[in-house]
Structure 1
Amino acid sequence: MLWGIDPLLDADLLFALRRMGHGDEIAIVDANFPAASTATSTVTGAPILMAGVSSARAVEAVLSVMPLDSFVPDPALRMEVVDDPVAVPPVQQEVQQAIDRAAGRRVPLVGIERFAFYDRAGEAFAILVTGERRHYGCFIFKKGVLPPE
Structure 2
Amino acid sequence: MLRNIDPILSPELLHALRAMGHGDEIVIADANFPGSSIGPTCIRADGSSASEMLKAVLSVMPLDTYVPDPALTMQVVGDPGTVPEAVAEFQTIIDATADCPARIQGVERFAFYDRAASAFAIVQTGERRLYGNIILKKGVIG
* TM-score category of the 2 structures, normalised to the smaller one: over 0.9
Aligned to 1:58: 53
1:9 is matched with 9
CA apart distance, 1:104: 5.2
Q: CA RMSD in A?
A: 1.0
User: Structure 1 length as normaliser, TM-score?
Assistant: 0.92
Q: Equivalent residues in 2 for 1:1-149 (5 A)?
A: 1-38=1-38, 40=39, 42=40, 46-103=41-98, 106-147=101-142
SS state at 1:140 partner: strand
SS in 2 for 1:35: coil
Percent of matched pairs sharing the same residue: 57
Deviations 1:19-61 (A, max 9, x none): 00000000111000011110x3x2xxx3101112111111000
Give the SS at the match of 1:22: coil
Contact 2:62–2:99 (8 Å) recurs in 1: no
Structure 2 unaligned residues grouped into runs of 5+: none
Q: Could you say what secondary structure the match of 1:59 adopts?
A: helix
Give 1:106 shift: 4.2
Letter of the structure 1 residue corresponding to residue 10 of structure 2: D
TM-score by structure 2 length?
Answer: 0.96
Whole-Å separation in 2 of the counterparts to 1:143 and 1:54: 21
- Higher fraction of helix: 1
Unaligned runs of 5+ residues in structure 1 are none
